[in-house]
């Protein structure tokens, strides 16, 4: 029986690399796959999945209002593909996760998804929360913090390299960058930012 898989990990855990390696393994056995990624993530060029190791493959894209059972799963059945591989799965909506699960259950097509678990505020992404709730198989992919611990969190850094904890969950463009860290170092950065904000407020009160 087909299953719904969720491979989650922080940035630099090799999620896209594993997806593209999985695609290669299927194709090496003469089996086709449908690749899927978020339309809003165009770092590799719209309609492509790329890894930091230089691997790259074309993919179908999804937006929040797409019905993935109709758009992806039914065509996948017609094309007799061996599996559907979805990158950036944290950008899925809860309903889209249900649509992919329906394709697994009703059409017997395995769906392998890859994505982040939480955002820079340590809040779960909608798609990740849904996948953690209903996926048949959940696998953590390990990234390493600079201290050597498992990096399970992400910091958003501004142009000066300072961690920020406010702003939209998804930021397209801008000068922000991201850094994978362990939970301990995420909380350390959060406390430092909170203390700096309190010091600034205190200084303003004294001037007032």
* 110-159 per-position pLDDT tens digit: 999 999 999 999 999 999 999 999 999 999 999 999 999 999 999 999 98
Is 195 assigned a catalytic role? no
Helices (H) and strands (E) in the chain, counts: 6, 11
- What's residue 115's pLDDT? 97
Three-state secondary-structure class, residue 184: helix
Does domain 1-141 bear CATH number 3.40.50.300? yes
* 42-100 per-position pLDDT tens digit: 665 678 898 888 888 999 999 999 999 999 999 999 999 999 999 999 999 999 999 99
- What's residue 203's pLDDT? 46
- Listed in sequence order, the DSSP H helices in 79-182 are 94-107, 126-134
- What's residue 43's pLDDT? 66
SS3 percent helix, strand, coil of the chain, rounded to 5, is 35, 25, 40
- What's residue 50's pLDDT? 86
- What's residue 179's pLDDT? 93
Distance between CA 184 and CA 198 in Å, rounded?
A: 21
Distance between CA 188 and CA 68 in Å, rounded?
A: 40
Instruction: Please tell me which residue in 46, 88, 106, 140 is annotated as part of the active site.
Output: 88
Residue for token pair 């990096």: 151
* Domain-wise residue ranges, the chain: 1-141, 144-208
């Amino acid at each position: 029986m087909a299953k719904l898989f969720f491979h989650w990990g922080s940035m630099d855990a090799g999620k896209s690399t594993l997806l593209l390696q999985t695609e290669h393994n299927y194709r090496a056995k003469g089996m086709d796959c449908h690749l899927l990624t978020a339309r809003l993530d165009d770092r590799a060029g719209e309609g492509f999945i790329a890894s930091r190791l230089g691997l790259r493959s074309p993919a179908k894209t999804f937006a929040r209002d797409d019905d993935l059972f109709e758009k992806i799963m039914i065509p996948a059945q017609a094309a007799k593909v061996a599996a559907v591989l979805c990158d950036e799965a944290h950008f899925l909506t809860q309903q889209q996760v249900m649509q992919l699960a329906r394709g697994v259950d009703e059409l017997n097509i395995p769906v392998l998804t890859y994505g982040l678990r939480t955002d820079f505020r340590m809040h779960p992404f909608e798609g990740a929360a849904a996948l953690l709730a209903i996926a048949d198989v959940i696998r953590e992919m390990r990234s390493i913090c600079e201290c050597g611990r498992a990096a399970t969190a992400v910091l958003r850094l501004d142009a000066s390299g300072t961690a920020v904890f406010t702003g939209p969950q998804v930021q397209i463009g801008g000068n922000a960058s991201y850094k994978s860290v362990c939970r301990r170092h995420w909380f350390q950065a959060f406390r430092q930012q909170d203390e700096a904000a309190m010091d600034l407020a205190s200084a303003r009160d004294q001037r007032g």
